[in-house]
Chain A
Amino acid sequence: MSRINTSLTRIVIFATLLVLSVSNLYPLLFMLLNSFKSRAAYQTSPFGLPDLRQLAWGNYVTMISQFKILNLFKNTLIISVFTILFLLIFGIIASYAFAKLNFMGKDILYFLIISSMFVPVQVTIIPIYMLFSRIHLVNTYWAVILTYLGMFLSETILLMTSAFRGIPDEMIEAAELDGAGYFDTLRYVIVPMGSPAIILCLIYYFIVTWNDLFTPMILLTDMDLRTVMVALASLISRYSGDPTLQFAGLVLAAIPAILVYAIFQNYIIKGIGEGSTR
């Protein structure tokens, strides 16, 4: 009796999760299917499948040849890669210091750095814009990269410091007895032992920087330097635009983050579950 009950419960749970998954995936499927339709076909049947004999590859061709979306990809990629690179370098050394080294003012500095995490970027963006325009950094990748470092370093340090605290002191002492210097300790003890936190930062901030709109929108106005999300935001703001073409652009722009998530989702789910990031 109870057995039937449990298997029934399990079917109900399975069905509920299935419904939720469909609600999460359908909008993306809708966008993908309609990106292969002509504008007329979309307007007559938005819910239908695209005609397989005449898929409208033209939307994608236009996105690549006229909208130059690959150039926009390059801009976003440069910003993401350099942001993550500096975030990891500065984050790892600072977190090592906070977790394992003793120096004057450590606690107060840690508190100051972490509390700056709560300040939203909107508060600082106008002074940052003015500062950068004085030193001719507006409309350069560096403007966005530096602003991102200011926004994300404290969160990175919070996450990595708590991970590095879990590394036993004996391991570091043993390495030092073997003659390991500062960089050897980082390379052979801290980075390998702290790798889950480091990989989480790498993936998480790739997705965040790839998808962000506000900061690059303010700091990059040059058409050739815009990130893919800034360019798409201005494309979709034209109401008269062709929706199926816009779908094609959005599909292309969504792919990199989805790919990274598909490969590394275990790290992200684990990291979020342990209460690290929003």
Chain B
Amino acid sequence: MKAFAGSNFRRTKAVQGILSILPTIVILIFIRFYPIAEAIYRSFTDWNGLYRNNWIGLQNYIDIFTNSPFWTLLRNSFVLLISVPLQIFIGLIVAVLLYEEVSGWRFFRAIVYVPQIISAVIIGYLFRIAFGLDGPVNLVLRNIGLQFLAGEWLGNSATALFVLVFCLTWFSVGWQAIVILGGMAKLSPSILESASLDGADFWQKTFLVIVPMIARTIEYGAIMSIVWTFTGTFAFIYSVTYGGPGYETSTIDYMIYTKFYQASANYGFATALAVILLVIILVLTFGEMTFTNKVSEWE
């Protein structure tokens, strides 16, 4: 009798469990898994969203690799990745400084994170204004006698990409600092104290003592930021440069957007771009996972 009640009870729990995840499963099937499958399937067609839907094999991929700005987009993403080591380096220093808990550190910690709260639309516009032809940056450069540096920052790809790297770094430093500070919170304070007593200076303490102990945290911050650079920069690029001049500052996700709005919609081509983006993200994420597992085997 008791056993019967027990199995009944367990069955009730199992039914509750399945019903509890049902809404999530339904939403993910319709809004995630079905669209992913459709994107992969349509990437082999010349789909225009309406009636045209012919199987054309690898033609979209061949077009992307041979006859599209794809390699420019990829180059741009790699240039934007320069921002990742910059934000980690500055974020690390900020975290180590915050860790010292000088007076007002809670206030500083709150301010450090502020850029993350501001919409990319706003940040991007402020950077575009700042680096405009008659914008504040050029104004300052002219006034301090560096007019040879003043110019049309957003008018050519090298300087426009530099402005974007600057913008992404400014936006992300606070996030890295808070993540690293979170990693440091797990360290025992005595190790850091003994490092200071042994006469290690700031840089030695930071890079020889702290960095090895929080390597996993830094790795997490790096991989999240790398993935984000491939998928999360649309609004910044839109509001700083519109991806221009031409495709000179666009990334893959930006081109998916422009293809979506083109009059002669070729959604097959756009979904093929999306599939390539997906493959890049999966390689990065799973590469990181196996790397992390390897590292923990060594340890």
Interface residues of A (CB under 8 A from B): 9-10, 13-14, 16-18, 20-21, 23-25, 27-28, 30-31, 43, 46-47, 89-91, 93-94, 96-98, 101-104, 106, 109, 113, 116, 118-131, 146-147, 149-151, 153-154, 157, 182, 207, 210-214, 217-218, 229, 232-233, 236-237, 243, 246, 250, 253-254, 257-258, 261, 265, 268-269, 272-275, 278
Contacts and interface: CB of A to CB of B under 8 A. Distances in A.
A20 to B, nearest CB: 6
20 contacts: A9-B100, A10-B103, A13-B100, A17-B108, A20-B94, A30-B136, A47-B136, A90-B27, A97-B18, A102-B10, A113-B21, A122-B274, A127-B36, A211-B118, A211-B119, A213-B234, A214-B235, A236-B128, A258-B118, A273-B181
Contacts of A101: 13-14, 16-17, 20
A175 to B, nearest CB: 14
A269 B97 contact: no
Size bracket, chain B contacts: 35 or more
A93 B179 contact: no
Contacts of A236: 121, 125, 128, 239
B215 interface: no
Given A24-B174, A124-B39, A269 B113 contact: yes
Nearest to B274: A123
Where chain B touches its partner, the secondary structure class is helix
Interface of B: 10, 13-18, 20-21, 23-25, 27-28, 30-36, 38-39, 42, 49, 94, 97-98, 100, 102-105, 108-115, 117-123, 125-126, 128-130, 134, 136, 139, 170, 174-175, 178-179, 181-183, 185, 217, 220, 224-225, 227-228, 230-232, 234-235, 238-239, 242, 252-253, 256-257, 260, 267, 270-271, 274-275, 277-278, 281-282, 285
A160 to B, nearest CB: 11
Contact of A122 (B31, B34, B277): B277
Given A109-B21, A109-B25, A269-B113, A127 B260 contact: no
Where chain A touches its partner, the secondary structure class is helix
Given A24-B114, A25-B111, A273-B185, A218 B260 contact: yes
Contacts of A127: 34-36, 38-39, 42, 271
A233 B17 contact: no
A234 B11 CA distance: 55
A146 B14 CA distance: 27
B207 to A, nearest CB: 17
A96 B224 CA distance: 27
A14 B120 CA distance: 29
B182 A254 contact: no
A147 B130 CA distance: 34
A94 B20 contact: yes
Given A101-B14, A102-B17, A131 B24 contact: no
Contact of A258 (B117, B260, B267): B117
Given A10-B100, A24-B174, 19 more contacts: A93-B20, A94-B21, A101-B16, A122-B234, A123-B36, A126-B267, A127-B34, A127-B38, A146-B30, A149-B31, A207-B117, A233-B235, A253-B119, A257-B117, A257-B119, A261-B114, A275-B182, A278-B224, A278-B225
Contacts of A94: 20-21, 23-24
A30 B102 contact: no
Contacts of B25: 109, 113
B117 A261 contact: yes
* Residue in A94, A232, A273 whose Cβ sees the most chain B Cβ within 10 Å: A273
